[in-house]
Amino acid sequence: MAYIEFKDVNKSFGDNHVLKNINLSVEKDSFVTLLGSSGCGKTTLLRSFAGLEGIEGGKIMLGGEDITNKHPRERNVSMIFQHYSLFPTMTVYNNIAYGLKIKKLSKDKIKEEVKAALEAVELLDKMKSYPSQLSGGEQQRVAIARSIVTRPKVLLLDEPFNAIDAKLRKELQLKIKEIHKKYGMTSIMVTHDQDEAMTMSDTIHFFKNGNIEQSGSPLDLYMNPRTSYVASFMGNYNIYQPEIFSKITSGKYSGSKTTAFRPEALSISDINKEKAQGEVYNFSGEILDIIPQQNVARFIVGVGDSKIFADTIIDQLSKFKKGQMVNLSIGKNKILYY
Ligand SMILES: Nc1ncnc2c1ncn2[C@@H]1O[C@H](COP(=O)(O)OP(=O)(O)OP(=O)(O)O)[C@@H](O)[C@H]1O
Ligand SMILES: [Mg+2]
């Protein structure tokens, strides 16, 4: 049996059926992500697990125990919220110590645990500061320290890096994973950022309209998205209706299915070079734009009225220029059909 199980979980707000018979299992010590667009029910699912939201059918199990009707405090679950939720009138130390005081630990023990948590997020020197004296990233690190200090069995993270700049975001992602391992926690994170989900997760559950559309490893979701909606979320797939892809391929494609392929699955070459042979589709177009993205160069190529994304490693960037005509080819076995 899995460590955490949602069984036929339903939840509505008025006539808005937000969680539609959710069945989801989470293995012990794993890091899982709920990925999906705004309003699809991610926060509601986390809140229902934490006991902050009642459910209307189904049950929630933790370590073999039915916790559906347990008080939030009895669940041994800690949540980092989508919006900062530090106590503004308490110092960093007291913010973190709060949960331990409620548990009536000794003063010395509290001191020891708070220091360990602050060390984990590298904020020992800010112990006496107030939240308003900290940057957004520092506040979020305090929120992390506060949620791990009670050594919860399960850590819930609701878009924990929302207001944080890209560099610090990367650092905090690694930090959280490190803490997750070190403290031996099972973690469920909510995000709408596919890169973040890919970086951090053992398993991703892709949410759409209160249903789980697909579950799997990051690589699995990336390589084998089950629907074009998942494909559009994962890895910037090029997705075309059948008649559009037929136009792109000058009629070579005559199927009736929507086609999807990843930008890095395309080959790009100078228009004067020989075209690729074999089981491929070739098409030519003009480079409309070139966008460097970390170690990848993304070419936006106009083919007829359509735009196609083609990625290469970054050192290919200088080989091509904006306005240049190029050949693109895609292996037929690289195309997914929906
Ligand atoms: N307390 C509430 N009362 C009424 N409706 C609510 C309440 N909380 C959430 N909802 C509705 O439930 C749906 C799901 O909300 P939820 O917060 O779970 O979405 P989400 O996936 O976390 O979105 P986001 O990515 O924007 O945070 C939305 O339509 C929202 O308006
Ligand atoms: Mg949310």
- pLDDT tens digits, one per residue of 82-107: 776 899 999 999 999 999 999 899 99
Distance 38 CA to ligand 1 centre (A): 8
Q: Quick one: 106 exposed, middle or buried, by C-beta within 10 A (0-12, 13-18, 19+)?
A: exposed
**35 and 58 in one domain?**
yes
Tell me which residue has its CA closest to atom 6 in ligand 1: 13
Ligand closest to Cα of 18 equals 1
**Residue 16 CB–ligand 1 contact under 6 Å:** yes
- Please tell me the predicted confidence (pLDDT) of residue 166: 80
**275 and 194 in one domain?**
no
Average pLDDT of 194-219? Answer: 94
- From 233, 253, 287, give the residue that closes a domain: 233
**Residue 43 CB–ligand 1 contact under 6 Å:** yes
Which of 10, 22, 38, 40 best tests ligand 1's pocket when mutated (most atoms within 8 Å of CB)? Answer: 40
- Please tell me the predicted confidence (pLDDT) of residue 233: 87
Which of 6, 11, 13 best tests ligand 1's pocket when mutated (most atoms within 8 Å of CB)? Answer: 13
**155 and 27 in one domain?**
yes
What CATH number does residue 274 fall under? Answer: 2.40.50.100
Q: Is the predicted pLDDT of residue 164 greater than 80, yes or no?
A: no
> What average pLDDT does the chain have?
93
**263 and 173 in one domain?**
no
Residues with CB under 5 A from ligand 2 (ion): 43
The pLDDT tens digits for 12-65 are 999 999 999 999 999 999 999 999 989 999 999 999 999 999 999 899 999 999
Tell me which residue has its CA closest to atom 9 in ligand 1: 44
Tell me which residue has its CA closest to atom 1 in ligand 1: 13
- Please tell me the predicted confidence (pLDDT) of residue 333: 95
- From 233, 254, 274, give the residue that closes a domain: 233
Distance 95 CA to ligand 1 centre (A): 27
Question: What is the tally of helices (H) and strands (E) in the chain?
Answer: 9, 18
**246 and 228 in one domain?**
no
**Max alpha carbon distance in the chain (Å)?**
77
Ligand closest to Cα of 207 equals 1
Q: How far apart are CA 31 and CA 298, in angstroms?
A: 30
The pLDDT tens digits for 232-247 are 888 789 999 999 999 9
**Residue 83 CB–ligand 1 contact under 6 Å:** no
The pLDDT tens digits for 305-315 are 999 999 999 99
**211 and 94 in one domain?**
yes
If one compares 162 and 158, the residue with the highest pLDDT of the two is 158
The pLDDT tens digits for 101-145 are 998 999 999 999 999 999 988 899 999 999 999 988 889 889 999
- Please tell me the predicted confidence (pLDDT) of residue 169: 85
Q: In percent, how much of the chain has pLDDT > 90?
A: 79
**Residue 44 CB–ligand 1 contact under 6 Å:** yes
- Please tell me the predicted confidence (pLDDT) of residue 131: 94
- Please tell me the predicted confidence (pLDDT) of residue 161: 85
Q: How far apart are CA 237 and CA 30, in angstroms?
A: 28
Name the residue range of residue 11's domain: 4-233
**280 and 173 in one domain?**
no
**248 and 288 in one domain?**
yes
Q: Quick one: 119 exposed, middle or buried, by C-beta within 10 A (0-12, 13-18, 19+)?
A: exposed
**222 and 254 in one domain?**
no
Q: How far apart are CA 279 and CA 184, in angstroms?
A: 49
Give the nearest ligand 1 atom to 82 CA.
27
Which pairing describes strands 238-240 and 259-261: parallel, antiparallel, or unpaired? antiparallel
| Structural domain count of the chain | 2
**210 and 197 in one domain?**
yes
207, 221 contact by CB (below 8 A): no
